[in-house]
Every structure is written in structure tokens, then in C-alpha cells.
Amino acid sequence: MNLTTQTPPTTAVPIMDAEAIRRALRRIAHEIVERNPDLKSVVLAGIPLRGVEMSQRLAEFIREIGQVDIDMGVIDVAMHRDDVGKRTELPVVRASKLPMPLDGRTLIIVDDVLFTGRTIRAAMDAISSFGRPARIQLAALVDRGHRELPIRADYVGKNLPTSPNEKIRVCLEQTDDGSDAVWIEK
């Protein structure tokens, strides 16, 4: 969930290449279509930065598979974090975009890496100031374990056991100006 653009350092171990990412996203899209017969009631809300690109790609696949233009939004979590005032660097805030009413809808949070779960908690906190969706689900490209809160993903691209001091780097074409990749830095 780093928000900086990045290039692979030399100590990195590649985990997923562009094809693997494409397949994972396509599979997630399928799962979303299968589990949500009423696609028009679904909202995909990406967490900046890479969650946004990810949700756009999921929407393209869903349009192919389910023939529906799914509703999209953006959830910025910076102002909902639970560690404001404890960090020496203030997280950058951006405007969120959830302009549609949320009653009765299924909101799927989209993020690239699921780790401690705190970002998702902040996202749910943000969502609550917009409205009250009927249900909230979570799609993550990579689940690397080490949850600090009782949060789990509904749709996962890849389960990746890691040790806490390792870093996961995700590179997406548009966001990072490079080909898709996921790698681990030891």
C-alpha cells in the first residue's frame, strides 16, 4: 500500500508478473459477478493509489463478463487513520469520491495489498460518513497475512505468506509507469 512510485530494487524477488496479475484480476472479476447477481447494486471503491487503478481494471473485466457498467468510487483513508498525531510525517490527504447513495448497495473496497487491516478499518470509517451500505466486501490483489484487526478479504488475488519485516511492492502500469509486477524485498 505504498503510495510512492517505485522501481524494483536489486534485492527484490518477483512474485507475480504482468500475466499473473491479469489472471488474478480476471478471476476476482468473475467471483464478483458470480456472487453478486444484481451487479447494478455493486459499487467498486478503490483506495488510492493502486486500489484505484485496480478497481478500474476490475470494472473493465466486469463489463466484459457481466455486460454491466459498474459504479465506481474512491475512498481516501488518510483523514480516517487511527495514528494521526503519532506519525512524524503526515499522510497526504486527497478528496474521496462516493457521490452515489449507498443504501441497499454492496460496496466492494479495492486495495492492492492487505496487511494489518488498519487501512481497511480506516476505509470503513470513511464509508460510514458517506452512508450505510447494505454490505461491505473487500477485494485485495495480495493478502500477506499479519492481521492486527479482525478483517478478512472476500476476494484475493494471491495469498502470500511473508514475515513482517519484508516489504511487498506492487507496480501497476498506469500508476507506476512500468509493467505490472509484484515483488518481495527481504
Partner 1 sequence: MDREMTNMRWNRKDLLGLRELSADEIDFILETTDAFKEVGTREIKKVPALRGKTLVNFFVEPSTRTRTSFELAALRLSADVINISVAASSLTKGETLKDTAKNLEALHADILVLRHGSAGAPQFLASRLKSSVINAGDGAHEHPTQALLDLYTIREKRGKIAGLHVVIVGDILFSRVARSNIFCLLKLGARVTLVGPSTLVPREFEKLGVTVSHRIDDILPDADVVNLLRIQHERQRKEYFPGISEYTRLFGLTKERAKLLKPDCLIMHPGPINRGVEIDSEIADGAQSVILDQVTNGLAVRMAVLYLCGGISTT
Q: Which stretches of the chain bind partner 1, using CB under 8 A? A: 3-5, 48-49, 52-53, 76, 78-82, 84-90, 92-97, 125-126, 128-131, 174-175
Strand partners, 71: 43
Measured from the CB of residue 174, what is the shortest distance to partner 1 in angstroms? 6
Taking the complex as a whole, the smallest distance from the CB of residue 86 to partner 1 amounts, in Å, to 6
DSSP labels for 45-114?
EEPTTHHHHHHHHHHHHHHHHH----EEEE---GGG-S-TTT-SSPPPP---B--S--BTPEEEEEEEEE
Report in angstroms how near the CB of residue 59 gets to partner 1 at its nearest: 16
CA distance 109 to 60: 16
For the bound state, the minimum distance from the C-beta of residue 103 to partner 1, rounded and expressed in Å, comes to 10
> 158 — phi, psi (to 5°)?
-150, 130
